[in-house]
């Protein structure tokens, strides 16, 4: 018989009560805080280190709707950088007018000769396209 893993979603505790990810976040934040301590005076260190410590603690321990905080940050950055389509915001319709002088008897840009179209055929075509909307 094969044993089936029971808790696949629970990460292993490697460094005492911390998982590997938590330990890496805390070690990185501690290293950055120490770097600030070495480079800047104490009052600047406190100012620069406070947001770093809060962010690192949130990365390590905070969960939003049972999702890790890093996932929330990743989704926020993806949302901010991607383009959005608002269906409820009606913009100006695109102007799709066709100039008949360009179409009648002129070779198209691809080098293919376009057949001559009369005004009545163009009107019929435009009318049929308007009906299908």
Is 131's pLDDT higher than 80? Answer: no
- Using a cut of 0.85, tell me whether the model's pTM lies above it: no
Per-residue pLDDT, averaged over 24-47, amounts to 94
Residue corresponding to tokens 């799709």: 96
Which residues in 78-88 are b (16+ Cβ under 10 Å) and which e? eeeeeeeeeee
Q: Could you tell me whether strands 18-19 and 13-15 are parallel, antiparallel, or unpaired per DSSP bridges?
A: antiparallel
8 Å CB contact between 103 and 114: yes
Q: pLDDT tens-digit profile of 102-113?
A: 555 555 555 566
Query: How does pLDDT run across 59-93, given as a tens digit for each residue?
Result: 999 999 989 999 999 999 999 998 877 777 777 76
């Amino acid at each position: 018989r094969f044993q089936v893993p029971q808790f696949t979603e629970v990460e292993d505790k490697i460094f005492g009560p911390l998982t590997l990810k938590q330990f890496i976040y805390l070690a990185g934040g501690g290293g950055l805080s120490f770097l600030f301590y070495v480079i800047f005076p104490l009052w600047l260190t406190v100012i620069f280190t406070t947001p770093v410590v809060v962010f690192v603690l949130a990365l390590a321990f905070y969960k939003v709707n049972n999702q890790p905080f890093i996932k929330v940050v990743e989704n926020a950055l993806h949302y901010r950088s991607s383009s959005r389509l608002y269906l409820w915001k009606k913009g100006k319709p695109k102007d799709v007018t066709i100039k008949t002088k360009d179409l009648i008897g002129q070779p198209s840009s691809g080098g293919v000769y376009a057949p001559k179209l009369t005004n009545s055929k163009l009107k019929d075509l435009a009318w049929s396209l308007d009906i299908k909307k």
